[in-house]
């Protein structure tokens, strides 16, 4: 665990719990549900097995992560966030939005972890004030697919396809550039970087909700 800062300060205390290298990335991986040790090791290339074991032990000691054994036939031990650890979701998403503003879009040489699209959508998609029954399938290249519905205007994002009427195909760099406002939705569609099946006006309205600034609804762009 990180050395103490000898300060009575919530920020210092938080850094003592999650400030060690790799700790927040372990939390990031567990935001999408329980994972085995080997799953975490595969999702965090570059982390040594001893470092991963130490981070998990520190996070358990801090009440952020807990171990659980799945019932047969799986009978595997998994790591998952505790309710206290789950409360890191929005702070971590806020940190991601903040970091994205100076990161720049991914290049073809950049490696994105499997499942990146789920957290990306959950972190950057604002409230919806349109048809409450609207559902969208967003495909972010390769095998990355999420389905988005809304409950009382708040997005509910799940991995995979579920037959939504509106399907949007794009790629990581284009999604990044639309969220950062480096590229308008209409420009992306015109360039062929966004393809839509279903009602285009609703798809454009949906895409306008992505932002790195505030998680709130944005008016549809008119270019």
Chain segment 62-89, per-residue pLDDT in tens: 999 999 998 888 778 999 999 999 999 9
Q: Whose structure tokens read 């270019």?
A: 223
Cis peptide bond prior to 73, omega within 30° of 0? yes
Q: With 70 as the cut, is the pLDDT of residue 110 above it? A: yes
pLDDT at residue number 199: 95
Q: Report the alpha-carbon distance of residue 87 to residue 1 in Å, rounded.
A: 20
Confidence of residue 1 (pLDDT cuts 50, 70, 90): low
pTM metric for this prediction:
0.87
SS3 118: helix
Residue with tokens 């205390």: 13
As a whole number of angstroms, the distance between CA 213 and CA 223 comes to 21
The predicted model gives 214-218 an average pLDDT of: 48
Query: What's the pLDDT tens digit per position in 191-206?
Result: 999 999 999 999 999 9
Predicted local distance difference test score (pLDDT) of residue 73:
80
pLDDT above 90 as % of the chain: 81
Asked if pLDDT for residue 218 goes beyond 80, the answer is no
Lowest mean pLDDT among 59-63, 71-75, 88-92, 150-154: 71-75
- Cβ atoms of 98 and 125 closer than 8 Å: no
What does the pLDDT read at residue 219?
A: 43
In this predicted structure, the answer to whether residue 221 has a pLDDT above a threshold of 60 is: no
Strand partners, 196: 168
Domain annotation for the chain: domains and CATH numbers: 10-87 (1.10.10.10), 116-207 (3.30.1050.10)
């Amino acid at each position: 665990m990180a050395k103490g800062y000898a300060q009575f300060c919530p920020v210092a205390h938080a850094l003592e719990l999650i400030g060690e290298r790799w700790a927040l990335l372990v939390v990031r991986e567990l935001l999408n549900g329980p994972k085995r040790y080997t799953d975490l090791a595969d999702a965090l290339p570059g982390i040594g097995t001893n470092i991963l074991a130490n981070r998990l032990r520190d996070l358990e000691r801090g009440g952020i992560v807990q171990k659980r054994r799945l019932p047969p036939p799986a009978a595997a031990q998994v790591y998952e966030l505790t309710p206290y650890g789950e409360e890191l979701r929005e702070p971590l998403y806020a940190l991601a939005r903040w970091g994205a503003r100076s990161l720049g879009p991914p290049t073809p040489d950049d490696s994105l972890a499997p499942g990146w699209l789920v957290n990306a959508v959950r972190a950057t998609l604002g409230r919806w004030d349109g048809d409450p029954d609207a559902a969208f399938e967003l495909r972010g290249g390769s095998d990355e697919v999420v389905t988005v519905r809304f409950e009382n205007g708040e997005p509910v994002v799940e991995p995979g396809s579920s037959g939504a009427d509106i399907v949007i195909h794009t790629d990581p760099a284009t999604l990044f550039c639309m969220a950062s406002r480096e590229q308008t939705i209409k420009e992306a569609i015109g360039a062929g970087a966004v393809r839509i099946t279903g009602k285009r006006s609703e798809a454009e309205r949906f895409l306008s909700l992505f932002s790195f600034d505030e998680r709130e609804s944005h008016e549809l762009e008119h270019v």
